[in-house]
A and B are shown apart, each in its own frame.
Chain A
């Protein structure tokens, strides 16, 4: 009989320890360590190959760039590792490195590191960030000076140099571990284990599925004064779970909360809401072959005026705004007012388009909320609004990775997508032009609208600020009138933190600079 009792006792012991463990895990109070929850988009921790938001956030903490943005202000780049001057044509930019800055292994940052790092991105055609260096030539002037030059005026170049993909790497260390400046580069594996930068943090561990752990860079001698010496960036794909974790003090920062969730947050949580730089838009294909009736410009117009934008905006919540054009607010050339619903115009355009009641398929990625806006409810509401205007829509959601292929290849007739800048400059929205990358995805070729092509090139090649602003807003205006895109929403970015954390500043590329988070 004794044996039996032992079993029972063991069973009780197990139950008790389960219960105890449950209690113990409820509130780990952390002082110099914080947890950031975000839905991962992370493929590499090699900054030169990264092109996705979580990767940018990580790179920003581990590495530094030539230039930077102060806080949330993305209008004018400020000095980073270097200061710069440019010539009047905006074709030659001279960068002078700051004295005395070192990498995490203590070695000094020199012009060679800059040349290597930039040429590495320029040379790795496989890298998704490769395009950032298109048309830029890098020349070493002396140990502390580097010259970047372009063929045509390039007022966007300083903003480009803030992009964490163009981070300055410790060239000696990277070369030692397989780094080169072309596609033979083999340093990615090394950089996925160890960071080789000068940022306030170093890479502790990384798991692309679950979490990235950052530790303090003991040799950091820049301006940031970090309060949190251990940062865990955790993959929590559901925003709802992020919210629970934050409210339960399981995490201290939640990056992807939706407007609805922010509205129902419990006390003791800080929220930083601001319009993001993302634009969610409808794409209406102009290729007859792909889209059939959608290729009629009147059809795009019918859709444009059939929608009730405030009702769509209702789904996006805190911080979001109606998209007034392809250029989001706060960017150069953004329009003041968006389209207002006008069912008469919509009906007339629909009549003119030759639409005959056929069902049109609306495709969208269903697992990729942008700024907390899930595309499924948005698509359902678009469907319902268009139904009221006499357009029959069938929804065809698919995961992002499945859907993006047909989007990129321009084979979607009617779809919901989003566009965010790769760096903070309105030149990022010129791909919407006829014959350009995004334009072609909508089957919109250069021949179809040469006026728009000219407007885009005027904006691209402007050499001074005023001329540039006018050119961009003309471009945006033209697209609002006859482009194959219907911009819907600029979702809010809602970063929520535990009450004792301060210093959140949203950036459209790297979301936020972790080093700027401070304990109150």
Chain B
């Protein structure tokens, strides 16, 4: 559930690559401001008043306390001023204090983001592996029964409600079969590894904690499985199409004519040729994964961005919502920009322009 690929992207044939990239960079920065305005506006649209929620019923009955609280957080200022304060703080790495957790949003997010990215990265790797394999298979066997089966399989993958799959697989693999570990990132008996990257698996390896590593990996299994189903469906479709296009290309025909076959042809020619569209869709699939985590993390009690986004949104935690919007917006824009950049570098039509 993400967005349209920028396959409809229009490249100006006149501007040189650098100029084009600078323009894209400029647009990205502008969009980033747009993102902060949108999140700020949305957060302030919320009808309820978060102050009582943050203070608790006891203190909220005390007008002096409420007033002091409002003053302290600058909530009595007009909205443009509040927005300006927020942007000003952003430049100093200050994303405000969460009304819900009473912790700096930046520090909340610094814990939540790696948790989600760890799932998303692994899911991308899994999806890419399976997607490329299935997609290539389908393309090679175009029109045959295996092509049809892959097609049905990928369409089903795109049709599964992730939150339901999360529930069902959690119920089945954990409660019934007891082969999957429970919720969370680690078994409770284990302490998180010392933070380097924020990815428990990587950090555990860096610290040489083998048990923690396997445990963290085991906890990743189900969420990754559930999240991958959708992206596998997505990637399989794209890989198939891209490979089909490349298979018709002259240089691949030439390779075939030279007698190349099998893996050599696939990896050396076909996938290299198809890598660009695949790359685009991987970037976008990452966005769909971030969406998916919102629905999946709740089921697995995964302390990531999805849970944080949901909790912040439903508890009217303005700074929290804005922080999530900002981080997600930055990730999206960065990925888009990176994809554009790679296009510019890799695609001769853009490079030669």
Contact = CB atoms under 8 A, between A and B. Distances in A.
Q: Do chains A and B touch in the complex (CB under 8 A)?
A: yes
Interface of A: 1, 4, 11, 17-18, 20-26, 28, 30, 33, 35, 43-44, 51-52, 125-131, 183, 205, 207-211, 213, 232, 234-238, 241, 244-245, 247-248, 250-251, 367, 398-402, 404-409, 437
A52 B54 CA distance: 12
For the complex of A and B, the 3 pairs showing the least CB-CB separation, nearest first, are A21-B218, A401-B315, A25-B181
Interface stretch (B100-108, B148-156, B331-339): B100-108
Contacts of A234: 184, 188
B4 interface: no
B246 to A, nearest CB: 20
B175 interface: yes
A406 B50 CA distance: 10
A493 B283 CA distance: 48
Contact of B303 (A1, A26, A44, A210): A210
Given A51-B56, A408-B52, A251 B217 contact: no
16 contacts: A11-B129, A22-B179, A23-B179, A24-B214, A52-B56, A125-B64, A129-B58, A207-B111, A211-B188, A235-B301, A250-B182, A401-B50, A401-B53, A404-B53, A405-B50, A409-B52
Contacts, number: 143
B65 interface: yes
A355 to B, nearest CB: 28
A126 B183 contact: no
Interface string B294-319: 00000001010000000000111000
Contacts of A400: 53, 315
A407 B191 CA distance: 40
B240 interface: no
Given A210-B303, A405-B53, A248 B178 contact: yes
Contact of A125 (B53, B62, B182, B187): B62
A10 to B, nearest CB: 11
B303 A406 contact: no
Contact of A209 (B69, B170, B303): B303
Contacts of A18: 217-218, 221
B330 to A, nearest CB: 22
B165 to A, nearest CB: 16
Contacts of A367: 314
A24 B316 contact: no
Contacts of B129: 11
Contacts of A401: 50, 53, 100, 314-316
A404 B99 CA distance: 15
Interface in B44-73: 48-53, 55-62, 64-65, 68-69
Task: Name A's interface SS.
Answer: mixed
A437 B62 CA distance: 11
A29 B211 CA distance: 14
B215 interface: yes
B189 interface: yes
Contacts of B316: 401-402
Interface in B180-236: 180-184, 187-189, 191, 211, 214-215, 217-219, 221
Given A26-B178, A241-B183, A401-B53, A127 B214 contact: no
A245 B197 CA distance: 28
B163 interface: no
B189 A33 contact: yes
B181 A125 contact: no
Contacts of A248: 174-175, 178, 182
Contacts of B55: 128
A407 B48 CA distance: 11
A53 to B, nearest CB: 12
B313 to A, nearest CB: 9
B190 to A, nearest CB: 8
A51 B179 contact: no
Contacts of B214: 17, 20-21, 24-25
Contacts of A125: 59, 62, 64-65
A1 B267 CA distance: 12
Contacts of A232: 188-189
Given A125-B64, A237-B301, A406-B48, 18 more contacts: A21-B218, A22-B218, A24-B218, A25-B181, A33-B189, A126-B69, A130-B58, A211-B188, A232-B188, A244-B182, A245-B182, A247-B175, A248-B182, A401-B315, A404-B52, A408-B52, A409-B52, A437-B61
Contacts of B178: 26, 248
B58 A131 contact: yes
Given A11-B129, A399-B314, A35 B179 contact: no
Given A22-B218, A210-B303, A28 B53 contact: no
A128 B58 contact: yes
Interface in B19-65: 48-53, 55-62, 64-65
Interface in B133-178: 170, 174-175, 178
Nearest to B213: A21
Q: Which of A43, A401, A404 has the most CB of B within 10 A?
A: A401
A404 B57 contact: yes
B65 A236 contact: no
B215 A24 contact: yes
A402 B318 CA distance: 12
A214 B226 CA distance: 34
Contacts of A437: 57, 61
Given A22-B180, A128-B59, A405 B101 contact: no
B189 A35 contact: yes
B263 interface: yes
